[in-house]
Structure formats: structure tokens, C-alpha cells
């Protein structure tokens, strides 16, 4: 079924911080920034900074099932918010996507927004020269193909397995590199002693 993002979700702006986000060691909230999401759309929760949220408006706290979308910069990636156990907002460089259609998995939407078709759409629709950005209307008009829920589940599960395998392979590569560095150091140290 062909739809646009606005057919199945509400898109909101990220939290409106003014200027640089102040890091507060004892802050009452956490902030997801552009640097906190990797090329696979995985949010690295352990590296979020703490801050204090000010202002009269109640913040849009991230909740399980939300999708965040990096609207500025060269990487317009989506990340799925899974289990979350602390008060967290996303920076103004993000849009917060709340899927309202119960027949659509938020994880599937995050996956589809990160695929080549959507990424080409964003590249063709981006504005700005020094720093490109995606407007809310452009994101809301993103064309999507929504299969039945069973197929969405299969795709999401397969994508999760691919990410796990990639993580394991990268860890193995890092381990091998460290082993090679150890061999080189040992060789150089023994050469300096003779």
C-alpha cells in the first residue's frame, strides 16, 4: 500500500534549545544529538549528554515506539526509540515522528526512511548549500510502501539480525587489528633490544 509519512504519523520538531546545548553533569534530562546516531540508525544511548530542560512548554519526551529523524547535515537518518528509561528529548536538528496508524510498525518506518529510495528523495529535496536540511513538509510527504504487518515484522527482524552481524564482525575486525598492533609492538621491542 502506497502512503506518505503524514498519512500514518505525526511529525514534530525536536526540542527548541537556543544555541549550544548546555551540558549539565547533574542535569535532569538527556539529549539525543546528531553525533549520537550511527550510519545504521542506531541511537547510542550511553553517550548522550545531560542537561536541564527550561521553558514553559512541556517537552516532547521520547517514548518507546518513537522514531527520530536527522533533518540537518549530510546524513538524514532515522532511529527507532526502543526501551527508554530516562527523560530524553531530541535536539532541534531532529524531527520526532509518532506513528499513529496501528497497522504500521515504527521500527519498519525507521528502516524504510534509511533505505536508498527514501535517501534519494531526501537528497533531491534537501535545501541549503553550506548545511543542507530537510523541511517538515518534505519529510511528511515522503513516499512509503507499507506491506502487511507480518511482512513488516519479517523485515524488521531481518534488519536487526543484519545489524547484530555487522556489530559482531566489526568487533572481530577491531580485535584482529589490536592483535596485529600487539605483534608489531612485540617485534619492534625485540628488535630494539638486540
- Tens of each residue's pLDDT in the chain, 194 residues: 899 999 999 999 999 888 888 889 889 899 999 899 998 889 999 999 999 987 777 899 999 999 999 998 777 999 999 999 899 999 999 999 999 999 999 999 999 999 999 999 998 888 887 778 999 999 999 999 999 999 999 999 999 898 888 888 888 888 898 898 888 888 888 877 76
Q: Please, are residues 136 and 11 in contact by the beta-carbon 8 Å criterion? A: yes
> For 22, which DSSP code?
P
C-alpha cell of residue 116: 536508498
Closest to 68 measured CA to CA, from 49, 91, 44: 91
C-alpha cell of residue 20: 549550544
C-alpha cell of residue 186: 612485540
Q: Please, are residues 101 and 8 in contact by the beta-carbon 8 Å criterion? A: yes
Residue 93 to residue 44: CA distance in whole angstroms? 16
Residue 93's SS3 state is coil
Closest to 78 measured CA to CA, from 161, 134, 162, 4: 134
Amino acid at each position: 500500500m502506497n502512503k506518505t509519512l503524514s498519512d500514518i504519523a505525526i511529525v514534530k520538531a525536536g526540542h527548541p534549545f537556543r544555541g549550544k546545548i548546555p551540558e549539565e553533569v547533574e542535569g535532569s534530562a538527556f539529549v539525543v544529538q546528531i553525533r549520537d546516531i550511527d550510519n545504521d540508525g542506531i541511537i547510542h544511548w550511553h553517550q548522550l549528554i545531560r542537561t536541564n530542560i527550561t521553558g514553559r512548554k512541556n517537552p516532547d519526551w521520547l517514548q518507546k515506539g518513537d522514531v527520530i529523524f536527522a533533518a540537518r547535515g549530510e546524513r538524514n537518518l532515522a532511529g527507532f526509540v526502543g526501551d527508554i528509561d530516562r527523560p530524553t528529548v531530541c535536539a532541534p536538528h531532529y524531527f520526532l515522528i509518532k506513528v499513529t496508524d496501528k497497522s504500521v510498525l515504527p521500527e519498519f518506518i525507521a528502516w524504510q526512511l534509511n533505505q536508498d529510495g527514501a535517501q534519494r528523495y531526501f537528497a533531491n529535496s534537501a535545501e541549503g548549500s553550506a548545511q543542507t536540511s530537510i523541511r517538515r513538509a518534505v519529510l511528511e510527504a515522503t513516499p512509503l510502501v507499507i506491506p502487511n504487518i507480518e511482512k513488516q515484522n519479517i523485515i524488521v527482524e531481518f534488519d536487526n539480525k543484519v545489524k547484530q552481524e555487522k556489530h559482531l564482525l566489526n568487533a572481530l575486525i577491531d580485535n584482529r587489528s589490536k592483535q596485529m598492533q600487539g605483534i608489531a609492538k612485540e617485534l619492534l621491542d625485540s628488535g630494539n633490544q638486540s
